[in-house]
Amino acid sequence: MTNESKSHDYEREPVPMHLRKGWLSMSLVWIAIGIDLSAMFLGAELGAGMNLTDSLTATMIGSVILGIIGALCAYVGAKTGLSTAMISRFLFGNRGALIVSVVLGIFSLGWFGVQAGFFASNMQTAFLKLWNIDLSLGLLSFIGGMLMMSTAIWGYRSIERLSVWSVPLLVIFIGVAFYTAIHTQGTAAIWEPISAAPIPMGTAISLVIGIFIVGTILSPDIARWARTPKHAIIAAFIGFFVGNSFMTVIAIFLSRLMDTSDLTNIFIMLGLGLPAIIVLTLAQWTTNTNNLYSASLGFSVVFKRVPKKWITVIAGLIAILLAVLGIYDRFLSFLNVITMFVSPIGGIYTAEYLLVDRKKFTFEGLDRNKKWIIRSLVVWVAATFFAYMTTAAPDGFGLFQLTSVPALDAFICAFVVQWIVGKMMNRKG
């Protein structure tokens, strides 16, 4: 393999077949992305607000749904060999795709900034409780962001190498924490009545899905590296199911054993200070690297003459600056809103590829594609508006509910409408 092929990330073209990966290494990438602090804290909240059986049931149902959606989206990525932003050119036209790519880039960039700030907040707590060292959130955001950006610069293969060794290490440290908690606390606390306000089953499932559904929409960014569509489907389902559920389930048990939802504090209470630092770092590193990677793929479609490495560096520095300024505190509402814009994109491209017209998904004819494809743009707007109608105030209108997960509502609406409208337009044509 030449040095050029090692460094080239094929952001604007299909990944060559001889460089494609097997399902196991790709599964590890998705598992690593799914193991993050958000899943840990969600699990702790479910553990406090539901009995053990119900919290585990909600996690499994939500994770299976994520796995199915992820597998569908990954299939399209593997068949085309293209990123989500590049696939959008088949759906929205070469000009219309620029709008989609910017939305994908901004969303991913925003999450990078939020997660870097989230990482800094938890790391500050760990340093203060362990060594009484009070580090500023700005400094920790900068250090964490630079660490996460370093891997994203070098593309998928760098992310893969990070995941291959970080996942086993994470599992070992988390396993030690789980064993220590059972050894010191016993198992009786697992079955204790809930200590917080009850969480309804529907709400719990929606939280499990909502925390990672946009990751499934962006799965072609990883799946384009799959050796075959079958490898992509297996890897995506395992990755989204295991990656999303693993940390949530562990957090449910740990929070019930230790009677607190503060995961950082749980590690420290168990005398696992250094493992706590390592888990915090690796969990966010593997997840946030992918956020910046997806952002750079989106912006690469817009800024065609700029090398992807430079796009990654510039985008990363902007996101780090946002984190240093503390924007993650005020950014969450914006991210909830933009999630409704991203989810329909997955419904549109899966419906078009699986049920409407897969023949047009050929890279060779892409430059002769229309500038604008109005029907997909209309479906995108309609599905986004539908999600706003099912989203509670203040972020939406809250007129009615479908699945209780607005992002999933948007995906389903876009899938069904794209299928029906696409078939009708093809018949007329």
| Distance, first Cα to last Cα, the chain | 46
Listed residue (293, 164, 284) closest to 221, CA to CA = 293
DSSP 8-class letter at 353: I
Percentage of the chain modeled with pLDDT above 70: 95
**Residue 1 pLDDT grade (very low, low, confident, very high; cuts 50, 70, 90):** very low
Instruction: Tell me what pLDDT residue 177 has.
Output: 86
Instruction: Tell me what pLDDT residue 316 has.
Output: 94
Domains along the chain with CATH numbers? 20-330 (1.10.4160.10)
Listed residue (183, 181, 229) closest to 76, CA to CA = 229
DSSP 8-class letter at 326: T
Mean pLDDT of 86-95: 94
pLDDT 10s digits, 218-243: 999 999 999 999 999 999 999 999 88
- Provide the whole-model pTM: 0.88
Token code pair at residue 136: 């500023």
Mean pLDDT of 357-385: 91
pLDDT 10s digits, 133-187: 999 999 999 999 999 999 999 888 888 888 888 888 888 888 888 888 898 888 8
Percentage of the chain modeled with pLDDT above 90: 44
Instruction: Tell me what pLDDT residue 414 has.
Output: 96
Spatial distance between the Cα atoms of 17 and 185, rounded to a whole number of angstroms: 52
Inter-helix orientation angle 308-324/328-351, to 10° = 140
One-letter amino acid at 142 equals: F
